[in-house]
Chains A and B, each alone.
Chain A
Amino acid sequence: AQSVSQHNHHVILSEAASLELGCNYSYGGTVNLFWYVQYPGQHLQLLLKYFSGDPLVKGIKGFEAEFIKSKFSFNLRKPSVQWSDTAEYFCAVNPLYNTDKLIFGTGTRLQVFP
Chain B
Amino acid sequence: EPEVTQTPSHQVTQMGQEVILRCVPISNHLYFYWYRQILGQKVEFLVSFYNNEISEKSEIFDDQFSVERPDGSNFTLKIRSTKLEDSAMYFCASSQGQGHTDTQYFGPGTRLTVL
Which residues of A line the B interface, CB within 8 A?
Answer: 4, 32, 34, 36, 42-46, 49, 51, 90, 92, 94, 96, 99-107
Contacts and interface: CB of A to CB of B under 8 A. Distances in A.
Nearest to A101: B45
Contacts of A46: 103, 105
B48 interface: yes
A49 B103 contact: yes
Given A105-B42, A106-B41, A100 B31 contact: yes
Contacts of B106: 36, 43-45
B109 interface: yes
B8 to A, nearest CB: 15
Contacts, number: 58
A43 B100 contact: no
B99 A100 contact: yes
Q: How large is the interface on B (under 10, 10 to 19, 20 to 34, 35 or more residues)?
A: 20 to 34
B113 to A, nearest CB: 17
B25 interface: no
Given A43-B4, A43-B109, A46-B105, A100 B43 contact: no
B56 A99 contact: yes
Given A96-B100, A99-B100, A104 B42 contact: yes
Contact of B33 (A100, A103, A105): A100
Contact of A103 (B45, B95, B107, B109): B45
A32 B100 contact: yes
A43 B31 contact: no
Minimum-distance CB pairs A-B, first 6: A100-B99, A44-B106, A101-B45, A43-B108, A104-B43, A100-B48
A47 to B, nearest CB: 11
Contacts of A4: 42
Interface in B65-104: 91, 95, 98-101, 103-104
